[in-house]
Chain A
Amino acid sequence: AQSVTQLDSHVSVSEGTPVLLRCNYSSSYSPSLFWYVQHPNKGLQLLLKYTSAATLVKGINGFEAEFKKSETSFHLTKPSAHMSDAAEYFCVVSLRVGLNTGFQKLVFGTGTRLLVSP
């Protein structure tokens, strides 16, 4: 079964320093992977997605992630953290619903809370 594991429940960085949020996946075939961000008391926003095209995926707000099949990883990075990046980040894999590949459900990791200090 496909799943994702987020390796850190909390990550603390200083403003202006790099961000690394780690995610490993488990899949018997090439997965579709996503990173979503959730700011306090807000819904989920899609940061970026990997769907078997380029392995280095660029997203919004300067975030990017690299799909590494050999390491079964999909870590999220950003060169320089901003105070507004403080939020909960979810690594997500999609699974087929029913027999039609056109229908997918999202399976979320447990989340990583990013704290950014001045």
Chain B
Amino acid sequence: ETGVTQSPTHLIKTRGQQVTLRCSSQSGHNTVSWYQQALGQGPQFIFQYYREEENGRGNFPPRFSGLQFPNYSSELNVNALELDDSALYLCASSSDRTGAYEQYFGPGTRLTVT
């Protein structure tokens, strides 16, 4: 069984640029959620994707967008990067068949905006 993988591991971008982060879900999981974890804080829910559509969204602006592909992998895109976007971005996969109560996290992508 393959776990959740994310790429890249680390990324440095300049304010105003755009970034794309990638996530491959665990085998058998069809739902992907993205979280932002700022330094010293708990993760915050960004949005969730199911069947290639956004299923729910947290309190994040529209410049945070995502995609889910037929193989259930997902991308998180952030436009017009701001310094406060510097954080660890975590992807979690789950299955609607088990009620999505268990979410399995990837190792994260550390984004630094300068």
Q: Which residues of A contact B (CB under 8 A)?
A: 32, 36, 42-46, 49, 51, 90, 94, 97-98, 100-111
Contacts and interface: CB of A to CB of B under 8 A. Distances in A.
A51 B100 CA distance: 12
B4 to A, nearest CB: 8
Interface of B: 4, 31, 33, 35, 41-45, 48, 50, 55-56, 58, 90, 92, 94, 96-97, 99-108
B41 A101 contact: no
B75 to A, nearest CB: 18
Contact of A49 (B31, B58, B94, B101): B101
13 contacts: A43-B105, A43-B106, A43-B107, A44-B43, A49-B102, A98-B56, A103-B48, A103-B50, A103-B100, A104-B100, A105-B48, A108-B42, A111-B42
A94 B101 contact: yes
Nearest to A88: B42
The 10 closest A-B pairs by CB, nearest first: A97-B56, A108-B42, A43-B107, A44-B105, A102-B96, A105-B45, A43-B105, A104-B100, A108-B43, A43-B108
Contacts of B108: 43
Contacts of A106: 33, 35, 43, 45, 92, 103
